[in-house]
Structure 1
Amino acid sequence: MTTKYIFVTGGVVSSIGKGICVASIGRILKSRGLSVSVVKLDPYLNVDPGTMSPYQHGEVFVTKDGGETDLDLGHYERFIDVDLTRSSNLTAGQVYMTLIARERRGDFLGGTIQTVPHVTNEIKAHLTDLAGESDVDVVVVEVGGTVGDIEGLPFLEAIRQMRKDVGRNNVCYVHLTLLPYITGAEELKTKPTQHSVKELRSIGIQPDALICRSDFPISDSIKEKLSLFCDVDGEAVVPLETVDNVYEVPLILENAGLGDYIVSLLNLGGHPRDLSEWSRMVERMQQPKGSLPIAIVGKYVEYPDSYLSVREALRHAGTAHDKDVEIKWVHSEDIERDGPEIHLDGVSGIVVPGGFGQRGVEGMIDAVHYARETNLPYLGLCLGMQVMVIDWARHVLGLEGANSSELDPDTLHPVIHIMPDQEAVTDMGGTMRLGGYPCRPQKNTLTLSAYRDEEVEERHRHRFEVNNHYRENLEKSGMIMGGLSPDGKLVETAEVAGHPFMVGVQFHPEFRSRPNRPHPLFCEFIAQSVKTIGKALSSLFPLTQSKRVAEQRVSANRPVQQTAFK
């Protein structure tokens, strides 16, 4: 079957859920037995979001092949349950960099390089190449930004041309727009949508379907009005009212008839639809048996999208245990200022996610120390594992000033240091240890108990690792290296002996969690956190059990080497 293309554009305002709608369309099509791939077209001139501030762009989602991509790819993977590659995120920066490199090589034989046809041809070639490589029935394409943005015009022109290139019956245009509610008039207004569609039509794109976002129900009369003025079939005007649970969106769009309309328009065949499993999952999310307070201690918590996949992975695992995970966002700098007790009292577990730079790290270390001394379940992700090792080195091994050489290049005890193959790296973008790497859980560890597999693959994004010069003493004192690289040289997970659940991982398991298949490490963390609900910390376990176990191990293996390794 010829690959079909669905292009999703946005109008009126940004941040109304275009990524969620694209992911939902993918889920709807997959429920009919169709194979689906997804692409995000980003008009910004950055080559990728890897060097962009989390405050501006949110998290960087890492694909299995090491692509640093837009966070919307996380939505795509979670909803459609596919593993995408770096090819699923194309930025204007990538397009122009490729064209300029070709021009410098002389590929254009001295010809003038122009937006049309050269830039648009590069965009179209990327889409058709992806379709050929992935061999899928449908490619769903999200065009970032809104119609009318000057930087997005080359992308809109490229998708306009696609209908001519691949055939009119192989392309569907879906436009997502906002129906604002005017309080004074007490009604939803369609005029912004009409102007947005007019702008789209002015560059040659007539939308086949409208998804209309609103905070209030959309009446039939409004749908009829939009159908008339925007020249869209009545059944293709799809209302999408704001919901609390984004995983409801595929069910809403399906019930509104969008799936049937797209299948008919693109002649995709009579595949039976089956969203029953997804429906049961959503129902379970909406009927939890109590809540579970979990603290995320980070340095970017003012902008929760910086930890989007972590939040969703906790939610997935909470659903598996019939709990509504209530996230308490705790800024690590607040812990530095006030101490951990005032900010972490009453939570059932602590997560310290990834991050870069020195700011707020001491607060993360204090949070680790609090979790270890109170036996509160702890899950450390990337930097969250590194601060766990630093806390142990300082307070159990007694290595004063132990640190990461990233955070303190002059530390006498760099228990975390740069990976050898990263020492000569000077470029910032795409140069870290990125993408999927194997990890082998070790026997008799929480890591193996969670995974139940002798080898797993997880996605990485880091330059620093546990310093093997300190590894023997860390292990002798009660820190367990629960997962290693296949050659045994890299510590992938670390655990604390005598603690109910204190696990740090050098990778990012949150990227592989799915709402219908929660990640096993998050599931085990939530399972242990559930046991703390309604109990005073002092009654959970002996207050300093992990410390006593560590001290006993240190005593049994003295002297502990405290040589500085640089």
Structure 2
Amino acid sequence: MDRTLRVAVIGDRDPAFPPHQATDGALAHAAAYLGVGVDVRWLDTRPLESDLAEVRAADVLWCAPGSPYRSLRGALEALRYGRQHDVPTLGTCGGCQHMIIEYARHELGYEDAQHAEYDPYASTLFVSSLACSLVGKTMPVTLSPGSRVAGCYGRTEAEERYYCDFGLDPARQRTLHDGGFSVTGVDAGGEARVLEIPGHPYYVATLFVPQARSRPDAPHPLVVGLLRAAL
């Protein structure tokens, strides 16, 4: 290995939480596939409110499941940096939800955009409770032809596992898509499950948890795509 990628994982790590264990594993699987090393550093969200040194030093950002985070603001500051400075970034489950809030606040101008897990009574909810919990479910996703995610998979259909009770509010889906955070993966009902920013080296948000399906002999294509973008 002649290259080691520094990966900053945004999220308050819980060693007992399966998606956090799977995140470390998926990065190792993808790195081995690409023949590179990974230096993985989990970043607590509270310090990120005022200190982004570890984020600035990273080649890759991954906003992990496990919300609500200790600091919403810290997570959003890190994501904003990755989006504005072309750092390859993946957000899964809670990470996806926070990428939505960050974009709504700082790109679309909805300064009071909120996540129902933090404030269910907020007037401008961009992330709301799902009609039905998806925790533990594996469901099909349809990907937009020509999108980055479809390119990573090499197809336009996938099955993925979920751990979430919250997602993009359907009433805000068109606003976000038309505003540049494109919805490129949907469920059977047409609700957003994948978003990406065209033109960014890699800025992908998935409501599902791709790391849950990664294996040493079959690294997940979205994680491989994340590291490949940094290379």
TM-score (norm 2): 0.94
Matched, 1:526 2:227: yes
Give the helix-richer structure, 1 or 2.
1
The equivalent of 1:167 in structure 2 is none
Contact 2:9 2:42 in 1 (8 A): yes
CA displacement at 1:486 relative to structure 2? 2.3
Question: Which has the greater radius of gyration?
Answer: 1
1:287-332 per-position Cα deviation (integer Å, ceiling 9, x unaligned): x2321111111112xx545411101100111111111111022111
1:27-49 per-position Cα deviation (integer Å, ceiling 9, x unaligned): xxxxxxxxxxxxxxxxxxxxxxx
Contact 2:197 2:204 in 1 (8 A): yes
Supply the AA of the counterpart residue of 1:416: V
Matched, 1:323 2:25: no
CA displacement at 1:358 relative to structure 2? 4.9
Q: How far, CA to CA, are the matches of 1:480 and 1:349 in structure 2? A: 21
Q: How far, CA to CA, are the matches of 1:421 and 1:382 in structure 2? A: 15
Please state whether the residue corresponding to 2:163 is helix, strand or coil.
Answer: strand
The equivalent of 2:65 in structure 1 is 354
1:7-43 per-position Cα deviation (integer Å, ceiling 9, x unaligned): xxxxxxxxxxxxxxxxxxxxxxxxxxxxxxxxxxxxx
The equivalent of 1:407 in structure 2 is 118
CA displacement at 1:487 relative to structure 2? 2.8
Give the strand-richer structure, 1 or 2.
2
Q: How far, CA to CA, are the matches of 2:119 and 2:51 in structure 1? A: 22
The runs of at least 4 consecutive aligned structure 1 residues that moved more than 6 Å come to none
1:156-187 per-position Cα deviation (integer Å, ceiling 9, x unaligned): xxxxxxxxxxxxxxxxxxxxxxxxxxxxxxxx
Please state whether the residue corresponding to 1:510 is helix, strand or coil.
Answer: helix
Matched, 1:298 2:49: no
Q: How far, CA to CA, are the matches of 1:402 and 1:378 in structure 2? A: 21
1:176-201 per-position Cα deviation (integer Å, ceiling 9, x unaligned): xxxxxxxxxxxxxxxxxxxxxxxxxx
Q: How far, CA to CA, are the matches of 2:152 and 2:63 in structure 1? A: 19
Supply the AA of the counterpart residue of 1:445: S
Contact 2:92 2:207 in 1 (8 A): yes
Please state whether the residue corresponding to 2:215 is helix, strand or coil.
Answer: coil
Contact 2:96 2:205 in 1 (8 A): yes
Please state whether the residue corresponding to 2:48 is helix, strand or coil.
Answer: helix
- Larger relative contact order, structure 1 or 2 (CA cutoff 8 Å, min sep 6): 2
Q: 2:75 aligns with which of 350, 360, 364?
A: 364
TM-score (norm 1): 0.39
Q: 1:495 aligns with which of 162, 177, 196?
A: 196
1:212-251 superposed matches below 5 A: none
Q: 1:397 aligns with which of 98, 108, 126?
A: 108
Q: How far, CA to CA, are the matches of 2:78 and 2:169 in structure 1? A: 22
Please state whether the residue corresponding to 1:493 is helix, strand or coil.
Answer: strand
CA displacement at 1:345 relative to structure 2? 2.2
What number of residue pairs does the alignment pair up?
229
Contact 2:11 2:69 in 1 (8 A): no
The equivalent of 2:46 in structure 1 is 333
Q: How far, CA to CA, are the matches of 1:445 and 1:407 in structure 2? A: 31
Q: 1:447 aligns with which of 146, 149, 161?
A: 149
1:156-235 superposed matches below 5 A: none
Supply the AA of the counterpart residue of 1:382: C
Contact 1:339 1:366 in 2 (8 A): no
Supply the AA of the counterpart residue of 1:314: L
1:248-274 per-position Cα deviation (integer Å, ceiling 9, x unaligned): xxxxxxxxxxxxxxxxxxxxxxxxxxx
Contact 1:459 1:509 in 2 (8 A): yes
Please state whether the residue corresponding to 1:470 is helix, strand or coil.
Answer: helix
Matched, 1:373 2:74: no
CA displacement at 1:470 relative to structure 2? 1.0
Q: How far, CA to CA, are the matches of 1:409 and 1:359 in structure 2? A: 17
Supply the AA of the counterpart residue of 1:444: G
The equivalent of 2:207 in structure 1 is 506
Q: 2:160 aligns with which of 440, 458, 465?
A: 458
Supply the AA of the counterpart residue of 1:449: G
Q: How far, CA to CA, are the matches of 1:295 and 1:372 in structure 2? A: 14
Assess, with a 3 A threshold, how the Cα gap between structure 1 residues 297 and 393 changes in structure 2: closer, same or farther: same
Assess, with a 3 A threshold, how the Cα gap between structure 1 residues 304 and 290 changes in structure 2: closer, same or farther: farther
1:143-154 superposed matches below 5 A: none
Supply the AA of the counterpart residue of 1:513: S
Q: Give structure 2 stretches of 5+ with no counterpart.
A: none
Matched, 1:470 2:172: yes
Supply the AA of the counterpart residue of 2:45: S
Q: How far, CA to CA, are the matches of 1:343 and 1:353 in structure 2? A: 16
Q: Give structure 1 stretches of 5+ with no counterpart.
A: 1-287, 423-431, 531-566
Supply the AA of the counterpart residue of 1:389: I
